[in-house]
Structure 1
Amino acid sequence: MDRMKTRAGRRRALRTLAALAAGAAAPLSTLRPALALVPDPAPANARARMMTDLIGTNGWAGSEADIEMWRAMGISWGRDTVGPGQPDRPGEAMRIDKTSSAFDIDLPPALLRNERNGIGSLLMLGYTPRWNATVPGDSNSAPVDVDVWKQYVDAVVRKYSAPPYNLRYFQIWNEAAGKLSGGLPQSVFWHGPEFSKDEKRSKPYERAMQDYVERIHIPAARIIRSYRAYVVYGGWPDQGGLDNFHRWLEYRSPVLKERMLDWVDYVDTHYLPVADMESLYQRYVKNGPARGIWQTEIGNEYMKDPHYLPRYFFDFAVWALGRNWDDPNKYLSMIYHWDGYEPFRLTHPGPPERTYNVSGRSLVVLHQTAGGHLASFSKPLQCGPGVAANALLSGNDLVMQVSSSAGWQNISIGGLQPLRSHAVQVDFIDALSGEASAPDTVASSWDNDLMNVRFKVPDQVNGAGNNPPKHLAYLVVRRVTQAVA
């Protein structure tokens, strides 16, 4: 996947954080839903959605043991390359059975493993063989002979959309863009004339949009749709600017007389916050023509903040529940990357064996805590000073993700009046370790129609490196049965 990585320093600067202790696992609580709450009305055609519908990763699970760890973290999609195509010369046999940055891993077994285990697979189509590149020797430039590109795309989609693989989602290229709002004159993965590895010497690629739409995107999209499969845009880079992205999507080729947008099923971005999806939803998804919004890369060094992933996916779920989440594949974000030797990756590969890092454990806790069928909870939350919260319904539980300062804190919840005549249990669960706090550190009471919850946040908050330091946790409200009471 190195070809899909960005070079050092490309992503936005992050705050300096204390080093995370790899593998220092705390016990993970097992939660049993027991509360009957009435969710907000859902659209008549809506089906139950799950947190796992939203979570994917880059790379493939390499074994059944890896699959079990993916399930524990709630990961339901993988993404990687397919090739190498015809890397050495024209006319050679088309090779599309390998994956990874070096094309040194067999692709079919990985896809079949995913298929057996109900995991979706996204294949990224790219790039140009060096011998066919418009920028001599540069595989990130447009092809001289577009037919060579089309032959590669057709071979991939024809094979992997058919049994036993049954893939339906294919991504065209990776982070193709022109001049970026973040300052680069050319995109890292889409080069044209006057490109230089020395950024100071590079000049803008004036035909970037036209060449991409005419020579890469629409030719590939036509092939993908001819096999009744879906087109995933190639991941708009975070430094590209959303205004630029709108221009690209809506660009109409003067040669083909078509817009790229009409050949995109899933709008795709990289490394953006959830709030940035709103304009894309309103403009392209709410009333079409796109089917949904994906981010095929999130995380990476942002995961140095241990709160990043649980906050991102909880906020993503709350957002999606309010945006006609009528198909399980409508919204998806894929973590970059699920394994590695950096302490912020989801897992450490070992030896002697694979273990969870802090970020991976946070997904396990999220999956355990909000692993039921999801529904919106739009009743008022009144947070005390130093507290921020978001809420949804998971199965029969009300789950609130709370970010707060140390010490005793308070939150008041509306809409729970039916519970006044019942014994109610509230758990305060560490979002990183899954450890539930002692019973005497959480108390609930009633003030007219509001349930008041008072909880004690530990002095050693789990976001000590944040500014200011905060603790991330879940407050889970559930009813206690008479037998337990």
Structure 2
Amino acid sequence: MFKQRHSHARRRALQTLAALASVPFHAVAATAVAVPRSGDTGTRRMTQLIGSNGWAGAPADIAMWHQMGISWGRDVAGPGQPDSPRDAMRIDRTGPSYDSNLPPVLLSNNRNGFRSLLLLAYTPGWNATVADDSKSAPVDVNAWTQYVDAVVRKYSAPPYNVRYFQIWNEAAGRLSGGLQQATFWHGPAAGGKDGVYDRAMQDYVERIHIPAARIIRKYRCYIVYGGWPDQGGVDTYIKWLEYRSPVVNARMIDWVDYLDIHYMKVAELDPLYERYVRNGPARGIWQTEIGDRYMEDPHYLARYFFDFAVWALDRNWDDPDKYVSMVFHWDGVEPFRLTQRGNPRKYTVSGRALVVLNRTVPGALAPVPVPLKFGPDVAGGALYSDKDLVFQVAAPAGWRTVSVPGLKAPVARQPDVRFIDALTGQAAPASDVALDWDSGALNIRFKVPANVNGAPRKPPEVPVHLAYIVVSSRQAA
């Protein structure tokens, strides 16, 4: 179902990941009929942000998802009518080759506290505009809508109660103004000299998105845009979202509840937030694919999700489902997954980093209301987890500092402070970290070990260590 990404050229260079350690602290037409999620206490937690592609099946796999803090899964429902319009409609299978039964997976997710996102895709070969090409527009739109209606009708009802459905996947690339290798939307000239497809945008809006979106809204469910990949570019994404079809007299953005992009940095979410989420019409921003070869950098996931949480706390995170990112993929044999198959299944370094993050930041989240001041060569961010003040810091070996001006000193005992390796969870000796208050500021000194846990960098860049500094009790600002 999903593509495997094995080319370094498909993604920006890993060196750009250093930008993830920013510190962003600061002192409708076709209105959705879906209702807000019930039982929301207003508490925001790191786990609400974390999802994965695929499903957890065996009890041991479910336990690993809980340990990593994964709360969302994503996969396809089908196969529909794969061989002929005379086929019975089949929507009970899921997985890369439709090799698993979907209903028991969804029931297991509900029992174990996992949320489910079902992907609606693609075109059966017999109905494809480009012969036998499942990524091309359907000839008969009714066949597409019958499949969508069957999936949403069945799985939005009890006992499954799925509320989120994604339309297609990465309808982008050369045909839509992006790079050629990012296309999951093909047209009559897809095999031609330059792959130009003049009606790419119009066909997608009229034949795929709007028909499916109307069905999803009919069943009082939420529409998740089919993921827009980084190669497509945000400007082109906006162009597609705001294209008004003269046939259906509507824009895609009028029929989107959650924007979805793939493999973008947290800072790249800001234009979409400002344009579509701050004041509507969209309810939130998701990334239903992150990671993959980016996880060759062992710091990638821990930095991404910590930064994502800091970003979300500063951008009206008023619904637990407003911001979600899903790792591609939790299962595999490559080192850039969350776990590797075997008996027993084992965590990769990225999977272990999620376990450490979940254990270190388990509580209700809140922003730090005052700016941070990092010493030379230190980058990072901070947030509150229940009463703990948690910093994430990246720095080269040696003694380093971070301070929080304007944070009042405690009136009782001096709080404890710990320096924790972000990849192993091991705490450093107490002598390697110290704090004090001076002139109305919290000051922390910490010793980064000589054997840092970061990947080697090209000269003259210096490898860095990723760690958490946990101050044990919350102080008034």
TM-score by length of 1: 0.89
Query: 1:187 and 1:427, CA in 2 relative to 1: closer, same or farther beyond 3 A?
Result: closer
Question: Which amino acid in 2 is paired with 1:209?
Answer: M
Question: Which amino acid in 2 is paired with 1:468?
Answer: V
Aligned match of 1:277 in 262, 269, 272? 269
- Report which stretch shifted further, 124-133 or 410-419: 410-419
Helix, strand or coil for the counterpart of 1:191? coil
Distance 1:439 1:216 in 2: 59
How far is 1:9 from its partner?
4.3
- Do residues 127 (structure 1) and 122 (structure 2) align? yes
Helix, strand or coil for the counterpart of 1:218? helix
Unaligned runs of 5+ in 2: 16-24, 28-39
Q: Which residue of 1 aligns with 2:195?
A: 203
Which whole-Å deviations, capped at 9, do the CAs of 1:379-411 have from their partners, x for residues lacking one?
132211111120100000000000111011111
Distance 1:70 1:228 in 2: 29
Distance 1:187 1:139 in 2: 15
Which whole-Å deviations, capped at 9, do the CAs of 1:438-460 have from their partners, x for residues lacking one?
01111112221112211110000
How far is 1:109 from its partner?
1.2
Q: Which residue of 1 aligns with 2:61?
A: 66
How big is the alpha-carbon RMSD for the aligned residues of Structure 1 and Structure 2? 1.9
Q: How does 1:251-266 map to 2 (within 5 A)?
A: 251-266=243-258
Helix, strand or coil for the counterpart of 1:419? coil
How far is 1:421 from its partner?
4.6
How far is 1:117 from its partner?
1.0
Aligned match of 2:337 in 336, 340, 345? 345
- Do residues 435 (structure 1) and 430 (structure 2) align? no
Unaligned runs of 5+ in 1: 17-38, 481-485
Distance 1:286 1:232 in 2: 17
Query: 1:444 and 1:9, CA in 2 relative to 1: closer, same or farther beyond 3 A?
Result: closer
Q: Which residue of 2 aligns with 1:75?
A: 70
Which of 1 and 2 has higher RCO (CA within 8 Å, sep 6+)? 1
- Do residues 370 (structure 1) and 361 (structure 2) align? yes
Q: Which residue of 1 aligns with 2:293?
A: 301
Q: Which residue of 2 aligns with 1:170?
A: 165
Which whole-Å deviations, capped at 9, do the CAs of 1:307-353 have from their partners, x for residues lacking one?
10000000000000011101000000000000111112111121x21
Aligned length: 449
- Do residues 183 (structure 1) and 184 (structure 2) align? no
- Report which stretch shifted further, 172-181 or 313-322: 172-181
Contact kept, 8 Å, 2:242 with 2:251, in 1: the verdict is: yes
Distance 1:7 1:68 in 2: 29
Helix, strand or coil for the counterpart of 1:385? coil
- Do residues 458 (structure 1) and 449 (structure 2) align? yes
- Do residues 247 (structure 1) and 239 (structure 2) align? yes
Q: How does 1:414-429 map to 2 (within 5 A)?
A: 414-419=405-410, 421-429=412-420
Sequence identity (%) = 62
Question: Which amino acid in 1 is paired with 2:331?
Answer: D
- Do residues 473 (structure 1) and 472 (structure 2) align? no
Q: How does 1:4-403 map to 2 (within 5 A)?
A: 4-6=3-5, 8-9=7-8, 11-15=10-14, 47-177=42-172, 179=174, 182-184=178-180, 187-196=182-191, 201-350=193-342, 352-403=343-394
How far is 1:201 from its partner?
3.0
Distance 1:297 1:419 in 2: 42
How far is 1:378 from its partner?
2.8
Query: 1:51 and 1:132, CA in 2 relative to 1: closer, same or farther beyond 3 A?
Result: same
TM-score by length of 2: 0.91
Query: 1:125 and 1:328, CA in 2 relative to 1: closer, same or farther beyond 3 A?
Result: same
How far is 1:15 from its partner?
4.6
Query: 1:294 and 1:253, CA in 2 relative to 1: closer, same or farther beyond 3 A?
Result: same
Contact kept, 8 Å, 1:305 with 1:465, in 2: the verdict is: no
How far is 1:105 from its partner?
1.0
Distance 2:118 2:463 in 1: 40
Contact kept, 8 Å, 2:48 with 2:320, in 1: the verdict is: yes
